Structures are given as C-alpha cells and as structure tokens.
Amino acid sequence: MLPFSFEWVWDAGHIVFMGGLWYSLSILGMGMTYCVIKTIIDINSNDQTENDHH
Amino acid sequence: MDSALIPKGVKRCPLPIFILGIVIIGIVLLWGVYAMILCWLKGLNQTNMNDYYGFALWIWADLAIIALGGGAFFTGLLRYIFGLDELKNIINYAVLIGFICYSSALLILAIDVGQPLRSWFIFWHANVHSMLTEVAFCLSCYFSVLAIEYIPLVLENRQIDKIPFFHHLGHNMHKVMAVFAATGAFLSCFHQGSLGGVAGVLYGRPFAYREGLLVWPWTFFLFTWSAAACGPCFTILITKITEFITGKKLVKDNVIDLLAKISGWMLGSYIIAKIIDTIYWATVTAPSLGFNLMDFYKDNSFYGIWILIVEIAVCGILPAVILLVPKFRQNKLLLYTAIILASIGVCLNRWVMVLQVMAAPVMSFDTWALYIPSWQEIATTILPVAYGIILIMISFRYLPIFPQEKELNSIE
C-alpha cells in the first residue's frame, strides 16, 4: 500500500508499518543495485586494464 | 561425471549414489506435493481444521521452523555486526539452513492461506493493527535477505565462478553483506517477536494472554530470545548430522564450542525469563482472569502438567546448564543431548503456544478440543523436510559450504 492508495490513512499505524516495509525493501533494493553497478564497473575496468596491457 | 562442478580439493560420493539419494527423498517430496495440490484444488476441507482450530499443525510447523531457522540471523549478527570471525566457518551453513526454513515456512503459508492467488492482499490491503501483518512483511523481507546471503554461495560454484560477472558480483555482495545481515537481524527480531505477540495479545484466551511493555506482550520478547538461543543449536545439530552422514569433519571444534557457548548463555538467560514469566502468569495474570494454573492442565487426555515441566526443565534448564559448563559442553554425548533438547524445547514451546492455546477451554461450558491432523496436513508438513534435505544434498555437493572441509579432510 502506498500513500496514494484509497485505503491509506495518515496515522501512526500506516506510517510505521508501511514505512518499515518500504524502508527495508529500499535497503535491499539499493544494496543489490550497488552490487550490480559495482560489478559492471569492475568488469569494465578489468577489460580496460587488459586492453592497456595489450 | 559431474566432477567439474564439485569444489576443488574435496571428495564427494559417486554420482549414482547421489542420484539414488535424491530419488528416495524425492518420493517423499512428491507425496507432499500431491497433498499440496489436493489442498489447492479441493480447498481446506482436506484438513482437519475447524472453527476451534483455525491455527493448526501448519502454523505450529511454521513457528517451529522459523524459530529453528533463527540460527541464520543470530549467527549473521554475531559474525558481521559483533565481528566474531571464527563463525565465518559455519555461517554459510547457517544461511543455507535459514534459507530452507524460511522458504519452507512461506510454502506452508501458501498452502494454509487457502486462496494463494490473493497472497499479495496482505501487502497491499494491509491491516496495520495486526501482528500477523508485521509477520508477513518481515518474513517475506527476511526471506529476500536470506536469498541475497545464499546467492554469493551459489556464485562460488566452480563453473559459475568462471563467468567474470558472477565472480565480481559474488565478491561485491560479500563486501556489503554486513548491511544485509543487519537488516536481516532487524527484520528477524520483529517477526520472531510478533509471532509470539500473536498469542500474547489474545485476551480472550487466558492460557496465552500475557501482559507486557507498550504494545508488546512478554511473549514477543520471549519468542525472539528463544529463537536466538535455539536456532544456533539447530545449526550445530544439522552440522553434526551432516558430518555423521558424510563421514567427514566439516567444522573445527573451537567454532562449534564458541557457538554452543553463546547459545548456552542465550538459553540460560531465556529460561530464567521464561520461568519468571510463567510464575507471574500462573500467580497473577491467569487468576485475575478467573483461572488457576491447573485449570490448563487437567480434564484432558494429553495436556498434563508434564508438558510444562518438559518444556522448562528438561528442554530448557538441562541443555542450558550443559552448554554453559565448559566440561559438559566439550563432552560430545552431552553436547548432542543439549542441542537436541534445545531444538525439541523450542518446537514444544511453539506447539503449546499454538495448539494448547486452541485446545484449552475458555468458557465454563467448554470442553477440551483436541485435534488430530489429516494425512494431507502431515504430508504437506513433511514436504519441506524432504525439500530441505534435497537442497542440502545439492548445496553440499556443488558449493563450498564449509571453508574448513579441505583442511580437515585432505585427499591424496
């Protein structure tokens, strides 16, 4: 449920529960995104290094 | 035939024997799948659940395997947040066991929910006043954490590791694993606790009802505590079973000893809290609601006072003492006894807090409502066990789960 959903109410229950859920999902999502982006950068820099050696 | 997939420097059984093992366990798995399909196609009339038992064998199995899988979050917390480096030698297996436990719990819930196509309702149409909503949120998020912790292990497979993207991805995931482990510990504390909270807030059922702190009944804290105490015991137990079956030493004694000692402290402190909680409930809470302690343990053929004694003394105090005293803990027979008793104890606690709660009479005209599960319920409860064994077999064969295996079992 998001704040634009018709069921949403701006009370502590919704903010704490749904905020906690989205907060956790954001950490996991951002963590995995970081890993994937870092991996692509690492691979590219490795390729670059190998090309430089050649 | 599959030697290219097996980690370097370790020996595994011949492929035909491995496949035979998978087939044997697979038959049990198929029996469970058949029962699961029956439940999905024909509905929950395949079970012996009724108006008394909306929560039954499945919910007990869920709570028990979630508690036993608690070894993953607690070992992860100790390894990544408190920096106990020795535990790196058992953390992979703890994660695998946790992954199996939580995926099994979600599978059982998918059967129990009766209408699995509407499972997503709990996320979108959430009842924010329900402890079970918190459980559903934290359970599914934590399962994602366990999957994220398990993926790097899969990526370490000899052939997968040759692919540069996966090699680097696994390496990068390892580097930020502390963030995932901390998130996992946070989520675990809340869903383990809320599972206890579900029973504790039942003010209409004096057997379960507890007072507490703010919105959390004492059972909230006791459930988290007991999972952190007994989860690592289950990890040690499965490690020892794996060592017995494979005929190999997989983890050094100092690692097991450290985890067992920490479990001992957790179990010891938990059982003191549990005793205080029980005394307060028996002498204050239950009498204030019109019940005496023995009202919950008489006039039925199963739930006697023995169950309380077994839970607290035999499966609580005894294993705690064994795990706390170094001389006892280092005796193999006593160690095995303690970890088995602790694992049984937490399962018994969940049984009492789910099924005895449902069985105990509340109104003066009520009688005890005992329940025997249907074969479909039993088969679908055994299904995750078979799935777990198969996943352990595959993971052990093809992934470097135990970092010390090579050193402890040198092959010529």
In sequence order, which residues have a C-beta less than 8 Å from that of residue B65 and are 6 or more positions away?
A: B101, B102, B104, B105, B384
CB crowding B286-317: b at 16 or more within 10 Å, else e: beeeebebeebbeebeebeeebbebbbeebbb
* pLDDT confidence bin for B2, thresholds 50/70/90: confident
Is B137 in contact with A20 (Cβ distance < 8 A)?
Answer: yes
- Mean pLDDT value across residues B261-284: 96
Categorise residue B114: left if φ over 0, alpha if ψ from -120 to 50, beta otherwise.
Answer: left
Asked if residue B54 has pLDDT above 80, the reply is yes
Reduce the DSSP state of residue B396 to 3 states and report it: helix
- Mean pLDDT value across residues B354-367: 89
Identify which has the larger pLDDT, A43 or A46: A43
Identify which has the larger pLDDT, B196 or A48: B196
Asked if residue A54 has pLDDT above 60, the reply is no
pLDDT averaged over every residue in chain A:
87
The domain B53-365 is placed in CATH, from the list 1.10.10.60, 1.20.1630.10, 1.10.1040.10, 1.10.3720.10, at 1.20.1630.10
Dihedral over Cα of B173, B175, B181, B186: its sign: negative
Q: Write the CA distances from B149 to B245, B262, B271, integer angstroms.
A: 26, 22, 31
pLDDT averaged over every residue in chain B:
92
Parse chain B into domains and list their residue ranges.
53-365
The closest of B132, B64, B47 to B352, measured between CA atoms, is: B64
Asked if residue B150 has pLDDT above 90, the reply is yes
Q: Which residues of A touch B129 (CB under 8 A)?
A: 13
Q: Tally A–B CB contacts below 8 A.
A: 63
Contact B195/B133 with Cβ under 8 angstroms?
no
Q: What are the residues of chain A with a beta carbon less than 8 Å away from any beta carbon of chain B? A: 1, 5, 7, 13-14, 16-18, 20-21, 24-25, 27-28, 31-32, 34-36, 38-40, 42-43, 46
The number of beta carbons lying within 10 Å of the beta carbon of residue B404 is 15
The three-point CA angle B317-B338-B385 to 5° equals 120
Q: What is the pLDDT of residues B58-81, one digit of tens each?
A: 999 999 999 999 999 999 999 999
Contact B71/B94 with Cβ under 8 angstroms?
yes
Of B18-32, B123-137, B156-170, B320-334, the poorest mean pLDDT is in B123-137
Asked if residue B103 has pLDDT above 90, the reply is yes
- Rounded CA separation B100/B106 (Å): 10
A14 CA: distance to closest CA in chain B (Å): 6
Identify which has the larger pLDDT, B287 or B113: B287
pLDDT score of A53: 55
Is B179 in contact with A36 (Cβ distance < 8 A)?
Answer: no
Contact B291/B206 with Cβ under 8 angstroms?
yes
Contact B210/B218 with Cβ under 8 angstroms?
yes
* pLDDT confidence bin for B301, thresholds 50/70/90: confident
Asked if residue B232 has pLDDT above 90, the reply is yes
Q: How far apart are the first and last CA of chain A?
A: 54
Q: What is the pLDDT of residues B303-316, one digit of tens each?
A: 999 999 999 999 99
- Mean pLDDT value across residues B111-124: 85
pLDDT score of B315: 95
In sequence order, which residues have a C-beta less than 8 Å from that of residue B240 and are 6 or more positions away?
A: B336, B339
pLDDT score of B331: 94
